[in-house]
A and B are shown apart, each in its own frame.
Chain A
């Protein structure tokens, strides 16, 4: 009888142990992947994928404010805002840049879904703002024309 319970217990322990172990490993892998990759991705698709965005819906509740024509491509002011409830994360992509993933902002508790920042742009491109609400992603874009490249100085 004793032997039986002992076996049972060890089995149970190893089972949960492995479950937790694998869970941890995959969790860590995911986290590091998400942290390292998006900024290195060289195409918009890869950047989106690396950021964990498989699909995003265009939404008119998001506004991306940027100039139609950038006077100085090294300093392009961009403002993204949304009226969606419960936005937790904002990512900004510049489609034609060498690394399209420009920035991401995690909104803490009580933060407004409005961020202003300035970016460099290599050439004329779409600026895409993606908001994360729950598990879904919503996006909006704005085309910005660049007359002189900003990445070469």
Chain B
């Protein structure tokens, strides 16, 4: 399970706002799908995403299994270039991932 999930983060400043875009490679299984033998595949999805800028939380997202595979998120916050944006996520099987970037 080492490097299965890749977290990509993009940050861009424009007119006093910083746009944060992130995408995580994650299967996001709902628990309703079945494999070829008809066994249910257990659910496996990202539950929580926390985005901080300079150690201040700008966004906390709680997700359910309805979020698509390889989830994508985009939002803006009032910030400036030089901010250090960090994103950390946790899924329901205790996997975690994080990424950080400096706003240019």
Tell me the chain A residues, 84-140 only, with Cβ under 8 Å from chain B. Answer: 94, 97-99, 101-112, 114-121
What is the bound-complex CA distance between A105 and B73, given in angstroms?
11
Q: Which of A75, A104, A117 contacts B73 (CB 8 A)?
A: A117
Specify which chain B residues have a CB less than 8 angstroms from the CB of A151 in the assembled complex.
Answer: 30, 32-33
Contact check, A110 vs B73: say whether CB atoms are below 8 A apart.
no
Which bracket fits the contact residues of B? Answer: 20 to 34
Closest A residue to B75 by CB, please name it.
A115
Whether A120 touches B68, Cβ cut-off 8 Å, given contacts A103-B63, A106-B60, is: yes
Chain A positions within 8 Å of B65 at CB level: 39, 99, 120
Q: Are the C-beta atoms of A152 and B33 separated by less than 8 Å?
A: yes
Shortest CB–CB separation between residue A127 and chain B, in angstroms? 10
Chain A residue nearest in CB terms to B61: A105
Contacts of A117 in B (CB 8 A): 61, 67, 71-74
10 A-B Cβ contacts within 8 A? A39-B62, A102-B63, A104-B61, A107-B59, A108-B56, A110-B78, A116-B75, A117-B74, A118-B67, A118-B72
* Interface pairs A-B: 5 shortest CB-CB: A110-B78, A102-B66, A39-B64, A112-B76, A116-B74
Q: Knowing that A116-B75, A117-B73, A120-B67 are A-B contacts, what are 14 other residue pairs whose CB atoms are under 8 Å apart, sorted by A's residue number?
A: A35-B62, A98-B30, A99-B64, A102-B63, A103-B66, A106-B59, A108-B57, A108-B59, A110-B78, A111-B76, A111-B77, A111-B78, A151-B30, A152-B32
B residues lining the A interface (CB < 8 Å): 17, 28, 30, 32-33, 51, 56-69, 71-79
Q: List the interface of chain A (C-beta within 8 A of B).
A: 35, 38-39, 74-76, 94, 97-99, 101-112, 114-121, 151-153
